[in-house]
Structure 1
Amino acid sequence: MSESYDLSVVIPVYNAADTLRTLTEDFLSISHFSIQVILVDDGSSDGSVDLANQFSDDHENVESIVQGTNQGAGKARNVGFEKAVGRYTIFFDADDIVHTDVICDAINGLDEGGADVAMMPYFYRRSLSSSHDAMNLNDSKVWSDIMGRAKRKTVKLDDAASLLGFSNYPWNKVIRTKTFREVGLRYGSTPVNNDILGHWYSLLFADDILLIDSEVCTHIVEASGSNLTNQASQVRLTLFDALDETYDVLDARPELRSRYAHHYWSFVHRTSRWAYGRLEPQVKPAFNERYKKHLNRIDLRDYSRIRRRRSPSLADSILSSLLY
């Protein structure tokens, strides 16, 4: 597939009429690079389709794709990625705010150094009316431990494997399209947590990772919105479908699985405990059963290495969860 643009922007759209215009115009305002915007509507009912189609009619570099039913952001991203013809691709969410100067910095950095992915921090905002907040505590610690005082750094995953445990957001990474099309990058098929698979793909198959210490996005979580943070019902159980999809990728590649097992199971434990604390009480027993079932997939050799060399406390937590 020929590369016709510098950057392809894939945006899943679901009832985002209030924010889609501003976001699309922000990307189209980038003048230093040629931009392709791919809007994939995922069953909207609020006028988003008309808005996306209008952008497509008015701009030859905007493509509008309409899916008749809501299938989840992961599938929408996969559909959009099939149409991407930029040298680089970013997956962005329709209700967040992009910092275009950082996008341009990432493209320049990838051009200069040849890395496969550029990764940046983000702002987290609880609502449109609040001020910018820092990243969550785990992400802040991971980022600070790796970056120190550096403003940019190119790393191998083996030297910065804790990035695998970073929140699995899609919009803080600009990827080299050709590299990740060849390795089959995809997002998950679940209604929530579908970005876990994409996050792990983006790091596992990158030869070099460019880290830029500038916030690329303001991520907005409204108290009444549909973000994962606000989900407490049975839908949370699909976390384990998303984890199964991700572990399948590792399990099919024993070298990668054994190399990053500690990071994977640490991520599973932390994410599951975070989700459990936000569940409706009637869902918790089924959640625990799914958690145990996924833990049972651990390779015994990996478990032994975690216990003996990496993190005895994590091994204790895994065993305790299995026996509970």
Structure 2
Amino acid sequence: MPIEVSVVIPTHNRCDDVEHTIKTLAAIGDFELEIIVVDDASTDRTVPMLEALRSEQRNLKVVTNTRNLGAGRSRNAGFNEVQGQYTIFLDADDLVHPAGLVDMHLAAVTTNADIVLAPFDLSSGVGHPTRDMHGLERRMWARMTELAPDGIFTLGAIPEVMRIANYPWNKLINTRYAQSIGLRFGDTPVHNDVFAHWQTMLQARWIAFTKTNICTHIVPITSGNITNISDKRRLGLFDALEEVEDFFDEKPFLRANYYHHFLSFKVDVLIWASTIIDKAHGADFLYRSKDVLRRVRVSDALRLAEDNPEKAKTFRVLPAILSADLDLA
């Protein structure tokens, strides 16, 4: 039977977590599914565990990196192997909800959308309580429900949906569509999903959505978690933003119509990251922030002021806000 959904999972030293995810996915019997795990040079039991599971799970593929390449390049390596009609990228340590993936697939085949979006919840870890997704996501799902009650819309109808979290696992993507646009994740150690998010959302003809959580996203309260990285690696944010800037420069129509939504996102993510980065790299962060803000055109700022006056006010004083957050005022 043809494969309907390909699930790509990069992993590094998450043996128990990825094993649980594989077994959870393998139990889904609603459609033909393949699981592609990309081991990113793990040093724990991951490789022998995957080899043992591969003998049991006919739908499991394993890609092995000989050196650590990071989540972005690992996702790219996994995507090169997909055979399914639709593709989703999951994190190894998140708790996937099978019903969420089943609903995403159903929405995809019934609407023929390029992308299907799904909600999620959050937790600090297994055994910890779950909490609802971020406020912006909640507002976006309410907005989509209000303006697209049949569960499908065009980007022009609800363009602000692009500002949802730039995660890879909240989207089921038509594989042919993804291949046609050259879907690619970035090389940076953090924010490597930013370019892929904007690349796929901006060029989609139809976007569908569900109301069933796809996963519980785990955000441990530890400095080692990627969300909490505060050292020099956090400066990779600027490489990710520059990739999207270059993309907009190559697409004048998209820039004219949608760049102000990216600018809104850029304001938010710079303020958030300025509270994360350590003091040793604060000056570099501020310098690069000013550099990336120079790519904003007057027309972009005017469009933001029309669409979101409050965010435009924040944009105008953003360097001062960042300086204060970085204690460089």
Match of 1:314 in 2: 311
Q: Could you tell me how far 1:312 is from its partner in structure 2?
A: 4.1
Secondary structure of 1:129's aligned partner: coil
Distance change (3 Å), C-alpha of 1:182 and 1:47: same
Structure 2 CA distance, aligned partners of 1:16 and 1:268?
A: 31
Q: Assess if the C-alpha contact under 8 Å between 2:264 and 2:304 holds in 1.
A: no
Taking the TM superposition and a 5 Å limit, the aligned residue runs for 1:86-235 are 86-148=84-146, 153-224=151-222, 226-235=224-233
Matched, 1:246 2:220: no
TM-score (norm 1): 0.93
Q: d(CA) in 2 for partners of 1:207 and 1:120?
A: 18
CA RMSD after TM alignment: 1.9
3-state secondary structure, aligned to 2:23: helix
CA distance, structure 2, for counterparts of residue 266 and residue 316 of structure 1: 11
Residue pair 2:263, 2:304 contacting (<8 A) in 1 also = no
Residue 121 of structure 1: CA displacement? 0.6
TM-superposed CA distance for 1:313, in Å, is 4.0
State the one-letter code of the partner of 1:168: N
In structure 2, the partner of 1:13 is 11
2:251 paired with 1:291: no
Distance 2:109 2:318 in 1: 46
Distance 1:26 1:152 in 2: 30
Q: Which runs of 5+ in 2 are unaligned?
A: 324-329
Q: Residues 149 and 218 from structure 1, CA distance in 2 versus in 1: closer, same or farther, beyond 3 angstroms?
A: farther
Query: In structure 2, what is the Cα distance between the partners aligned to 1:151 and 1:74?
Result: 34
Identity of counterpart residues, as a percentage? 32
Partner Cα distance (1:94, 1:322) in 2: 37
Alpha carbons 1:13, 1:41 under 8 Å: kept = yes
CA distance in 1, matches of 2:149, 2:25: 24
Q: Given the alignment of the two structures, is residue 301 of structure 1 paired with residue 320 of structure 2, yes or no?
A: no
Number of aligned pairs? Answer: 321
Deviation at 1:42, TM superposition (A): 1.0
SS at match of 1:5: coil
- AA matched with 2:315: I
Q: How does 1:9-88 map to 2 (within 5 A)?
A: 9-88=7-86
Query: Does the CA-based 8 Å contact 2:26-2:57 persist in structure 1?
Result: no
CA distance in 2, matches of 1:151, 1:306: 27
Which whole-Å CA distance do the structure 1 matches of 2:97 and 2:222 have between them? 25
Preserved contact between residue 128 and residue 222 of structure 1 (Cα < 8 Å)? no
TM-fit CA distance, 1:113: 1.4
1:91 counterpart letter in structure 2: F
Q: C-alpha distance in 2, partners of 1:49/1:10?
A: 16
Deviation for aligned residue 1:152: 5.7
4+ residue segments displaced more than 6 Å: none
Deviation digits for residues 248-295 of structure 1, max 9, x if unmatched?
222210111121111100000001101111222222211111111111
* SS class of match (2:141): helix
The whole-number CA distance in structure 2 between the counterparts of 1:81 and 1:280 is 34
The one-letter code of the counterpart of 2:311 is: L
Partner of 1:133, secondary structure, is: strand
TM-score normalized with structure 2 length: 0.92
Q: Which moved more, 1:241-250 or 1:176-185?
A: 241-250
Taking the aligned partners of 1:161 and 1:228, their CA distance within structure 2 comes to: 29
